[in-house]
Amino acid sequence: MARLDVALVQMRSGIDPAANIAAATDLIRKAAATGARLVATPETTHLVQKDAAEALKVMHAPETEPAIPAFAALAKELGISLLIGSLAVRTAGRKAANRSFLFAPDGGLVATYDKAHMFDVGLGQGETYRESDNYRAGDRLVVAEAEGARLGLSICYDVRFAYLYRRLAQAGAQILTVPSAFTRPTGREHWEVLLRARAIETGSYVLAPAQGGLHEDGRRTWGHSMIVGPWGDIVATLEDDEPGVLTASLDLTKVEESRRRIPALTHDRDLQGPDEMTRP
């Protein structure tokens, strides 16, 4: 397939999973109505709750998480490939996983991916995050097929680790997905730059559906969902943090063209480390 119509869902999820599932369902229906064959939602689609104890109370193991069959049924009903950017699901032990779910048009589960890099940062002015306190990091890369295209899966903070995307592209990914809930300080300064850099470095399309606005738990996220082309061009973007849908038609031949013009993915070298270099 040379062209692929896609849609990104921008949300403002709150602390009630059922309400968030309903809101996502409504936006996914609107996205599918545009003719999109691949629809993607943001990180933590069904729950934004900064109080870890309260979040754990409403989380489920994957086997009993109601969002999973609900979104599988929706993908089948609409006949679309559906990437749920992530759901917070309980795992063995006391920690959860931040997990992407890719559903096929028949409702089947194609692939899952657990966020690999934990957002453990202090942004100043009392804004501190310690994801590793409550979430278990994933340990594998995932490339999966959807609508004839190869998707490389990632989540939010992963976008700061260029090696991950290079490996996904070298494994055949044409489209990199970055569902996110970026903070406003980092989003304002880094969101667009990082997304465009990952596209340029790999010659890939980047799809970045986002959470946006002031959430029920008091958190503020950046929004500005974005689709970036393999030459680093901004194909489409939402200019605000309001819930909505962003659409574009991707020309997948541009991935091959970009990689042919600048074949950086084939130019890796096994360089010596600084401690191995001969010093004068």
Tokens describing residue 129: 């995050």
C-alpha dihedral (135, 218, 191, 43), degrees to nearest 10: 40
Assess whether 156 carries a catalytic annotation: yes
Reported for 264-268, long-range contacts at CB under 8 A and 24+ positions apart, including other chains, are 264/201, 264/203, 265/166, 265/169, 265/170, 265/202, 265/203
Q: Residues 65, 131, 156, 254: which is the catalytic one? A: 156
Catalytic status, residue 254? no
DSSP character string of 77-141 = HHT-EEEEEEEEEE-SSS-EEEEEEEE-TTS-EEEEEE--S--EEEEETTEEEEGGGTBPPP---
3-state secondary structure of 19: helix
**Does residue 276 carry a catalytic annotation?**
no
**DSSP-assigned letters across all residues of 186-228:** HHHHHHHHHHHHHHHHHT-EEEE-BBEEE-TTS-EEE---EEE
Could you say which of 43, 65, 131, 147 is catalytic? 43
- By CB atoms closer than 10 A (0-12, 13-18, 19+), residue 182 is buried
- Find the catalytic residue in 115, 131, 147, 254: 115
45 three-state secondary structure: coil
Task: Decide: 238 and 224 in contact? Cβ < 8 Å.
Answer: yes
In the chain, % helix, strand, coil (3-state, to 5) comes to 30, 30, 40
Q: Which residues are catalytic?
A: 43, 115, 156
